[in-house]
Amino acid sequence: MSTPSYEYPFRIGEVIESDTNEFTTQCYELYGAPSLGTLVKAGETEPVYGVVSYSHTSGLDPTRRPIARGEGLASEDLVYDENPQLNRLLTTNFKTTIVGFKFSSQITTYLPPRPPRIHSFVSQCENTEILTFAKSLDFMSSILGANLPQSDDVAAAFIRYACQALPEETELRVESAKRLASLLGNDTRRLEGILRRIPND
């Protein structure tokens, strides 16, 4: 048995749940979820874009709870080596907030008319795509407005991620921060909290 990810290195998983605002991807590999804030796309020719906002690893079968297995083992990895079935029984899913879509090779930074289909392939994005979203940041309001406990971290993580992916965009960090500031005009506290999560590296 081989996982498709060997043949298609940019493919991460498949959509298993999808609604107007977000879609959930099941990873081909256990713990294979992209970092928080990563831009991914679902679908092949006219993909829908999303920012990773939540990831979750648990047993495939909700009635089976993981138990402690490493008591006598020297390392965590050994737990998985000694219990190889875990890699099959546990699964990593991640949610992405939908931020845009591509239509006739034009990227649009607002919600698509419909979310991606179930089983759409989810893969990593190219730098040009990241740049488009990093420059617009239109979607930030929906992430910040989603009022998830992790909203602020997702916002910060996206900017970190974009700055890392696009080191040549030297102004990106400050430009993004300014966009955030105008979005959070009346909540400087919150803004400051987010900005603190975007260290200069």
Contact set with another protein (CB under 8 A): 1, 61, 64, 67, 69, 80-89, 173-174, 177-182, 184-189, 191-192, 195-196, 198, 200
| Residue 104: strand, helix, or coil | coil
Min. distance of Cβ 88 from another protein in angstroms? 5
Angle at 116 between CA 49 and CA 28, to 5 degrees: 80
Question: Is the Cβ of residue 44 or residue 201 nearer to another protein in the bound state?
Answer: 201
Question: Is the Cβ of residue 52 or residue 198 nearer to another protein in the bound state?
Answer: 198
- The residue type of 65 is R
Token match 């006598």: residue?
72
Backbone angles phi, psi at 170, to 5 degrees: -70, -25
Min. distance of Cβ 56 from another protein in angstroms? 21
Min. distance of Cβ 174 from another protein in angstroms? 5
Q: Are 59 and 50 in contact (CB under 8 A)?
A: no
**64: CB partners within 8 A, 6+ apart:** 89
Question: Is the Cβ of residue 40 or residue 191 nearer to another protein in the bound state?
Answer: 191
Question: Is the Cβ of residue 88 or residue 127 nearer to another protein in the bound state?
Answer: 88
Min. distance of Cβ 145 from another protein in angstroms? 17
Min. distance of Cβ 96 from another protein in angstroms? 26
Question: Is the Cβ of residue 117 or residue 196 nearer to another protein in the bound state?
Answer: 196
169 vs 166: CA distance, rounded Å:
6
User: Which H or E run contains 135?
Assistant: helix 127-136
Question: Is the Cβ of residue 86 or residue 166 nearer to another protein in the bound state?
Answer: 86
Helix axes 172-183, 151-165, angle to 10 degrees: 160
Beta bridge partners of 52: 96
110 vs 43: CA distance, rounded Å:
17
Min. distance of Cβ 24 from another protein in angstroms? 20
